[in-house]
C-alpha cells in the first residue's frame, strides 16, 4: 500500500475511533491499539511532510461536541496528555523536558497525581461565584453543563476566599464505584443496557437534560488546574493546596517528587498495589499524571497542538485475573460480522464484575487454542473491554476438542462466508433477525436518525411481533399497531410515532450514516452528503468519484459503491424516499482561485481570537494550503502563543513569520 493511501486509511480509522470516544463515550478499541494507529500515522507524516494536512488527527485534540447543549468556547484549549507505558518512556519524557529548558541542570521537581478515569470539566468562577461549567468537547469548544454541575455536591457554588475577578478551574467529574453499581442495577431492573464502565456512566449522566436526574446519579469531582491572567500560585503543589483551602475537592494521594527516579518509584508503587487500591479508592484510576511543578517553567516549555510539553500520563498495565471459560458463543453484528465471545465464571477486574469477554475472531481463538472449560487469564483492554489473554492449563485430556466456527448463522441458519484476506466470518442474509436488530439500533441512535424511544428492547419486541422487517417498516408503524405491543401504552405509542415523523427531516448525512454502510462513520457520511448533495447522485457515483471526496479513501469508496450496487439496498432507498425521508443536502461548492492561491501556510502555537480550524478555513477558503510541517516550500508560518519548534525552523530557513494581527490583516479579517 502506498504511503498516501495508508495515511488516508489511518486518518479515517482514527477519526472514527475519536468520534466514538469523545462524542459517544464508546471505546471500540483499547488505548494501546489507538496509540499504535496514531504513532504509525505520525511516523508516516514525518517521512512525508508534503502529505500533512491541517485536519489530520495528528494536528488536533479530537472529537466534536454532542448536540444536546449550547456550545462554549474555552479560554485556553483543553489538551490531552501524552502517554508513557513504562519507566524508559518516563525517562524519555524527562530528557525531552530538560532539552526544552536548555539543558536544565539538577533534579527536576515534579508533582504526581492519580489519573482519574472520568470526564474533563472547566469551571468558571467570578469573584468566587460559580458562573459556568463546560465539558472538554474537542478541546476548543465544549458543552455548557452549568445546571448539571451545580447538582454535584462537592463542587462549591461559592469559593472560600480565593482570588477576585474571573478564574477557571479544571478537573475531572467521575462516578464513584458504589454509585456506578447502583446505577447499573437500576438500568438492569428497567431492562436497559448496563454502562460498560464508570467513565461512560459519568459522561451519560452529565448530559442528562434534567438536572434532577443528574443529581440522582451521585457524581463527584476532583479539581487540579487553574487558568487565570494573574494570581496563579508559582508551583503546582501550592495550587493544589490553594484549591483545597478554597473548598474545592482535590484527590489526596498527590505527591511532590524530586527527579525522575522518584517519579518512577511512585508509579511503580501504585502499579504494584493497583488491585488492592481498586478496592480502597472510591473511583477508578488507570494511571499517574506527572506534571512539572514550577508554573514559570511550564510557560517556557509551552504545548504542542495536542499535549502540554510539561506533563505526561503514565498508564498502568491492564489488570488481569484468572477464571474459568464456561463456553464460547458467537454474536452477529449489524454488518453481519460473526464474532466469538467467551462466557466466563464471573470475576472482579478493574472495578467491575466481568462475565463475558471478547475473543476477537476465529483466527485468534485458534491461535490461542481456547476451548470450553479452560482456565484463562482475562484483562480489560484499556481498562474497558474484557478480553481473554491466554490459556492457563495446556493439559486438556478430559475436556473439549478445538473450537470451530459454526458454518451457519445461529439466528437465521444461513451459511457463513469469509472474504479473501479477512479474519471475520459474516452472515450475508439481508433478512437475518440479528443483523436487523443491530442495524435498527444503529439506524435509530441519537447520532444517526435520532428516533428517541426506539431502543434495543422495543426493537426486539417489534421484530418478534413481526411488525418490522426492514428500516422502511419503521415508517409504516401506526399508533394502533404500537399500542398492541407489550408494555406500550397509548401515550408511549403516540410519542414514538411523533419521533419517527420528526426523523424524516433529519439531515441527509444522518440517513447515510444510519444505513450502516461498512467503514462509513459520521465524518464520512457528512463528506458524502456535502459532495454529492442528493441520494440519486450518490447512487450513481463511481468508485473514482467517491474516492475523490475528501476523507473518503479507497476502502470506504469501495464499500459505498458495493452497498449501493446491491438491488436490495436500491429497493430500500426507494422505499424510504416514498415514505417521505429527506434525500438531499446543500452541495458544498468547490473552492476556486483566491487571493492566497499557491501559498502554503503552517500554524503553530495558540491563537487568541480564533481556533486552528477557523484559521485553516480562512486560508483554504481563500485558495491557500495548510500543512503540518515547515519546509522550503512553506510561504508563511502563523505564530500564536507558546509556539513550538516550527517557529525555530521557520526562522532558520528565512520563511515569513506572521503574528496573529498580521495574519488577520493578510486574510482580510
Q: Which of 115, 315, 380, 625 is catalytic?
A: 115
Cα(483)–Cα(601) distance, rounded to whole angstroms? Answer: 61
Cell numbers given for 645? 519548534
Exposed/middle/buried for residue 211 (C-beta within 10 Å: 0-12, 13-18, 19+): middle
Task: Compute the radius of gyration of the chain from its Cα atoms.
Answer: 26
Residue with cell 475472531: 361
How far is it, in rounded angstroms, from Cα 237 to Cα 512?
51
CB burial of residue 500 (10 Å; 0-12, 13-18, 19+): buried
Q: What is the total residue count of the chain?
A: 669
Alpha helices per DSSP H over 64-155: 87-100, 146-149
Q: Which residues contact 501 (CB under 8 A, 6 or more apart)?
A: none
Query: Could you give the CA distance from residue 361 to residue 629 in angstroms, rounded to a whole number?
Result: 39
Give the containing element (helix H, strand E) for 497: helix 490-503
Alpha carbon distance 588, 583 (integer Å): 16
**Dist. CA 1–CA 384, nearest whole Å:** 32
Respond yes or no: is residue 115 known to be catalytic: yes
What distance, in Å, lies between the first and last C-alpha atoms of the chain?
A: 42
Give the up-direction half-sphere exposure of residue 616: CA atoms within 13 A in the CB hemisphere: 15
Give the integer Cα–Cα distance in Å for 438 and 433: 9
Measured CA to CA, the distance from residue 542 to residue 548 in angstroms comes to: 10
Q: To 5 degrees, how large is the angle CA 56–CA 61–CA 64?
A: 90
Contact between residue 322 and residue 376 where contact means Cβ atoms under 8 Å apart = yes
Which grid coordinates are listed for 368? 490461542
Q: Quote the cell numbers at residue 432.
A: 437475518
- Please choose, from the candidates 96, 92, 379, the residue with its C-alpha nearest in 3D space to the C-alpha of residue 264: 92
Task: Write out the three cell numbers for 502.
Answer: 420528526
- Are 74 and 219 contacting, i.e. CB atoms less than 8 angstroms apart? no
- Active-site positions? 115
Amino acid at each position: 500500500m502506498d504511503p498516501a493511501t495508508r495515511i488516508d486509511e489511518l486518518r479515517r480509522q482514527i477519526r472514527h475511533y475519536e468520534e466514538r470516544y469523545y462524542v459517544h463515550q464508546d471505546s471500540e478499541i483499547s488505548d494501546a491499539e489507538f496509540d499504535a494507529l496514531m504513532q504509525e500515522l505520525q511516523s508516516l507524516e514525518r517521512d512525508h511532510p508534503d502529505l500533512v494536512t491541517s485536519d489530520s488527527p495528528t494536528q488536533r485534540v479530537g472529537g466534536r461536541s454532542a448536540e444536546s447543549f449550547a456550545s462554549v468556547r474555552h479560554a485556553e484549549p483543553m489538551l490531552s496528555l501524552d502517554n508513557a507505558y513504562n519507566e524508559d518512556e518516563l525517562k524519555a519524557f524527562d530528557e525531552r523536558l530538560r532539552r526544552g529548558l536548555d539543558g536544565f541542570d539538577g533534579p527536576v521537581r515534579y508533582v504526581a497525581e492519580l489519573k482519574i478515569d472520568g470526564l474533563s470539566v472547566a469551571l468558571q468562577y467570578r469573584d468566587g461565584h460559580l458562573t459556568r461549567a463546560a465539558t472538554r468537547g474537542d478541546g476548543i469548544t465544549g458543552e455548557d453543563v452549568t445546571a448539571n454541575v451545580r447538582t454535584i455536591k462537592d463542587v462549591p457554588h461559592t469559593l472560600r476566599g480565593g482570588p477576585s475577578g474571573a478564574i477557571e478551574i479544571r478537573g475531572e467529574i467521575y462516578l464513584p464505584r458504589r454509585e456506578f453499581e447502583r446505577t447499573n442495577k437500576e438500568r438492569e431492573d428497567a431492562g436497559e443496557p448496563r454502562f460498560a464502565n464508570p467513565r461512560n456512566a459519568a459522561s451519560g449522566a452529565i448530559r442528562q437534560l434534567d438536572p434532577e436526574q443528574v443529581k440522582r446519579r451521585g457524581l463527584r469531582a476532583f479539581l487540579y488546574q487553574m487558568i487565570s491572567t494573574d494570581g496563579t500560585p508559582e508551583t503546582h503543589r501550592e495550587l493544589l493546596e490553594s484549591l483545597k483551602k478554597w473548598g474545592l475537592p482535590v484527590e489526596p494521594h498527590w505527591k511532590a517528587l524530586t527527579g525522575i527516579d522518584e517519579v518512577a518509584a511512585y508509579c511503580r508503587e501504585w502499579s504494584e498495589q493497583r488491585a488492592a487500591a481498586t478496592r480502597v479508592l472510591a473511583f477508578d484510576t488507570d494511571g499517574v499524571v506527572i506534571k512539572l511543578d514550577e508554573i514559570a517553567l511550564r510557560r517556557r516549555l509551552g504545548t504542542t497542538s495536542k499535549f502540554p510539553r510539561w506533563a505526561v500520563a503514565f498508564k498502568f498495565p491492564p489488570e488481569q485475573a484468572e477464571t474459568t471459560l464456561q463456553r464460547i458463543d458467537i454474536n452477529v453484528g449489524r454488518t453481519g460480522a460473526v464474532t466469538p465471545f467467551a462466557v466466563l465464571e464471573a470475576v472482579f477486574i478493574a472495578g467491575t464484575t466481568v462475565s463475558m469477554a471478547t475473543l476477537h475472531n476465529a483466527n485468534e481463538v485458534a491461535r490461542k487454542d481456547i476451548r470450553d472449560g479452560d482456565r484463562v487469564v482475562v484483562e480489560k483492554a484499556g481498562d474497558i473491554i474484557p478480553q481473554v489473554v491466554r490459556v492457563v492449563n495446556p493439559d486438556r485430556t478430559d475436556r473439549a476438542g478445538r473450537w470451530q466456527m459454526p458454518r451457519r448463522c445461529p439466528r437465521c441458519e444461513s451459511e457463513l462466508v469469509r472474504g479473501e484476506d479477512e479474519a471475520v466470518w459474516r452472515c450475508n442474509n439481508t433478512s437475518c433477525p440479528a443483523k436487523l436488530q443491530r442495524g435498527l439500533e444503529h439506524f435509530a441512535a441519537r447520532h444517526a436518525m435520532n428516533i428517541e424511544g426506539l431502543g434495543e428492547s422495543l426493537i426486539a419486541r417489534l421484530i418478534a411481533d413481526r411488525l418490522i422487517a426492514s428500516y422502511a417498516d419503521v415508517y409504516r408503524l401506526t399508533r394502533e399497531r404500537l399500542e398492541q405491543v407489550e408494555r406500550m401504552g397509548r401515550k408511549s405509542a403516540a410519542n414514538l410515532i411523533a419521533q419517527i415523523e420528526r426523523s424524516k427531516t433529519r439531515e441527509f448525512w444522518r440517513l447515510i450514516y444510519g444505513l450502516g454502510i461498512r467503514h462509513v462513520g459520521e465524518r464520512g457520511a457528512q463528506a458524502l452528503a456535502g459532495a454529492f448533495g442528493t441520494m440519486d447522485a450518490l447512487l450513481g457515483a463511481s468508485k473514482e468519484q467517491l474516492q475523490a471526496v475528501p476523507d473518503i479513501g479507497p476502502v470506504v469508496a469501495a464499500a459505498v459503491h458495493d452497498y449501493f450496487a446491491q438491488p436490495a439496498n436500491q429497493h430500500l432507498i426507494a422505499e424510504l424516499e416514498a415514505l417521505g425521508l429527506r434525500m438531499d443536502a446543500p452541495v458544498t461548492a468547490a473552492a476556486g482561485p483566491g487571493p492566497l492561491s499557491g501559498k502554503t501556510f503552517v500554524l503553530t502555537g495558540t491563537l487568541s481570537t480564533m481556533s486552528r480550524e477557523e484559521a485553516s478555513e480562512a486560508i483554504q477558503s481563500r485558495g491557500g494550503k495548510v500543512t503540518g510541517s515547515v519546509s522550503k516550500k512553506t510561504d508563511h508560518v502563523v505564530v500564536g502563543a507558546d509556539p513550538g519548534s516550527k517557529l525555530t525552523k521557520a526562522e532558520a530557513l528565512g520563511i515569513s513569520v506572521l503574528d496573529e494581527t498580521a495574519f488577520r490583516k493578510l486574510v482580510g479579517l
